[in-house]
Amino acid sequence: MIAFLGTGLLGSGFVRALLKNGHQVNVWNRTPDKARALEANGATAFAHAADAVKGANRIHLCLMDDAAVDAVLEAAKAGMQPGAIIIDHTTTSVAGAVQRTEQWKQLGFTYQHAPVFMGPSNADACTGYMLISGDQQLATQLTPELSKMTGQLINLGAETGKAAGMKLVGNCFLVGFSASISDMLMLAKSVSITPAEVTGLFEQWNPGASLVPRMKRMVAADYHNPSWNLGMARKDTNLFMNEATAAGNQFTIIPAILQLMDTLITQGHVNEDWSIIAKDAVG
């Protein structure tokens, strides 16, 4: 039997998928109505986390943050059966994942952090990506069941906390990516181009294929054979700023990028590849 603690949008998707795959699932949520709603799908809802985990050999969590995970696990501890495996899908700090792995081992339980790159629809459909790292014997044991919950289970090796760190890296990209799209749309607005027209451009021109090659170039720190030098990139970035300012609009991240470019140009990097903006990150 499985207990699932945390039945928000993502957790509810996981629960529905587990039920469809024939599992008996007990559920608990801080907001009881969200747990009770899953009874229509066959789950059993409980008012207290300690009751929800009674008899469960696997306890899944999908919560807000480190503090919520620690609080909910402490509340559930009294009901846990010896040897229960805790599988935490929450996005947490690296230090938190490492600390909980050791803490719960000392208490006689197994804690496995398994964060995900998945939305609610992915959880329902068992698609997307799940990350694990740490004890490889445990990873091998859990792989068959965790693989059923996701499109791809990515094992990052024996380092405890590596999955937590990689999840943060991925989310950092997503936050920056979305902020970049926001600034791009603000520039389009400033020059009287509609979002639909921008979408049409990207339906024809897809720069996504350049992501990995660009990252490899930045990591290689090969700045001396520029494909687009910093001075030219700075000139174009200034054009973005001028158009937005003239239209009375403001960017989210472009001003910070422009400031970084100016600092690097002052340091003498004007004719080097513009990927030098990452030099402190890869040095």
Tens of pLDDT, residue by residue over 191-217, are 999 999 999 999 999 998 899 998 998
pLDDT for 283 beyond 80: no
Those residues with Cβ within 8 angstroms of residue 265's Cβ, 6 or more apart along the chain or in another chain: 230, 231, 234
Pairing mode, strands 25-28 and 2-5: parallel
Q: Express each pLDDT in 1-59 by its tens digit.
A: 999 999 999 999 999 999 999 999 999 999 999 999 999 999 999 999 999 999 999 99
Domain boundaries, the chain: 2-159, 166-282
Strand blocks (E) in the chain: 2-5, 25-28, 44-45, 58-61, 85-88, 110-113, 116-117, 129-132, 152-155
Is residue 129 packed enough to be buried (19+ CB in 10 Å), middle (13-18) or exposed (0-12)? Answer: middle
pLDDT for 148 beyond 80: yes
Tell me which DSSP letter residue 84 carries: P
**Contact predicate 62/14, CB 8 Å:** yes
CATH number for domain 166-282, candidates 3.40.50.720, 1.10.1040.10, 1.10.10.10, 3.30.365.10: 1.10.1040.10
In the chain, % of residues over pLDDT 70: 100
Distance of CA 170 to CAs 81, 128, 150, 182, 207, Å?
34, 13, 17, 18, 18
By residue count, the chain amounts to 283
Pairing mode, strands 44-45 and 58-61: unpaired
Predicted local confidence at residue 93, as pLDDT: 98
Q: Express each pLDDT in 46-96 by its tens digit.
A: 999 999 999 999 999 999 999 999 999 999 999 999 999 999 999 999 999
Predicted local confidence at residue 222, as pLDDT: 87
CB atoms within 10 A of CB 39: 11
Distance of CA 101 to CAs 5, 78, 94, 200, 274, Å?
18, 18, 11, 48, 42
pLDDT for 110 beyond 90: yes
User: CA torsion sign, 137 to 138 to 139 to 144?
Assistant: positive
163 confidence band (pLDDT: 50, 70, 90): very high
CATH number for domain 2-159, candidates 1.25.40.10, 3.40.50.720, 3.40.30.10, 3.30.360.10: 3.40.50.720
Predicted local confidence at residue 62, as pLDDT: 98
User: What is the pTM (predicted TM-score) of this model?
Assistant: 0.94
Q: Is 178 helix (H, G, I), strand (E, B) or coil?
A: helix
Q: Express each pLDDT in 119-132 by its tens digit.
A: 999 999 999 999 99
Those residues with Cβ within 8 angstroms of residue 38's Cβ, 6 or more apart along the chain or in another chain: 7, 12, 15, 16, 19, 25, 27, 45
Q: Strand pairing partners for 61? A: 5, 88
pLDDT for 262 beyond 80: yes
